[in-house]
Amino acid sequence: MRFLALLTTLSTVMMLGQCQQTYAGSQYRGGLGSQNQGTAPITHSQTRAPRMGGGSFGSLSSELVPTRPLAQPRTPAPKPGCEAVCVIDPRTGRILYGHNANVRRQVASTQKIITALCVCDAGNLDKIVTIQQEDKTRVTPIRLQQVKPGDKYTRRALLQAMLTGSYNDIAHALARDTAGSMEAFVQRMNARARRMNMHNSHFVNPHGLPGPQYSTARDMAIAACHAYVNPTIRQFVDIPTVNFTLANGSNRPMNNTNKLLNKYAWVNGMKTGYTNAAGRCLISSGSLNGQAVIVVVLGCDKKKIWAESEKYLRWALGV
């Protein structure tokens, strides 16, 4: 039995593959489940956890990992109110609940997580990117209007803008700069997906606008685990509002499209998405008492998306 348990643990680590093992918790004011109601603002910040001496991360050293795996909740999972759900423990990769989790479908801008991973893989986040006319004309809608052709930004700044405001033109610029062309970048996305064992996914663009592409709730949960343990992505998706510095030196306040970040301090990510083909989509993450969870909900309607994600976060964390 111990041998079988060891094999299970090793397979989980292999699924998480080449992730950078990091963890970002949230320091916050108020009690459990406190809401931001106009008093003290919710504060999200990087919180170090104790160094792990063993467990499911094995010999992969890190000071920023969840200290405990999630236990299977004693209560049954809530009934789904959207087309697909996957609830996963980012520490172990264990799936706590799934509903239509392996059904292929469009996932809209949640696939910008794959784009972010590929940009981070390329490194050199301080490299200067010059915005080109094609970045503005080849994608609609959701463009950062104040960013103009000829403007220069670092990859890091553009990555923050893409993950915070979900701008499609910024995703296009990052992809073009990183790989030299859309086609080459899409090849990187699909190669990255294969390395992460996302066996039911195929992507044709970096932003998630409709096309002959697909993924599943389970595959996007796997991608989210890799994003969760990437220090740069973890930091960027955990910021409710950022002052984006434009090329002319002025600041543009930019609100995160994930409204749950402004509602609960134990929510710390991750990415929204919407197209008519995909419906409302949200990958959300939360951490509490040394545990963490990622929830993927796909194909919701506008009125349900936030409550749908919240109920699975609460169920998994015992909030």
Residues belonging to the active site: 109, 112, 166
Closest to 30 in 3D by CA, of 240, 257, 235, 263: 263
Helix residue ranges per DSSP H, 17-149:
112-122, 133-137
What's 285's DSSP letter? E
Helix (H, G, I), strand (E, B), or coil: what is residue 92? coil
Q: Whole-angstrom Cα distance, residue 64 to residue 46?
A: 9
Name residue, tokens 């970040």. Answer: 261
What distance lies between CA 183 and its chain's CA centroid? 23
Task: Name residues whose C-beta falls within 8 Å of residue 235's C-beta, 6 or more positions apart in sequence.
Answer: 24, 46
Name residue, tokens 């004693």. Answer: 74
Q: Whole-angstrom Cα distance, residue 218 to residue 295?
A: 10
Q: Is the N-terminal amide bond of 270 cis, ω within 30° of 0?
A: yes
What's 101's DSSP letter? T
Q: Per the structure block, which two tokens stand in for 299? A: 């194909």
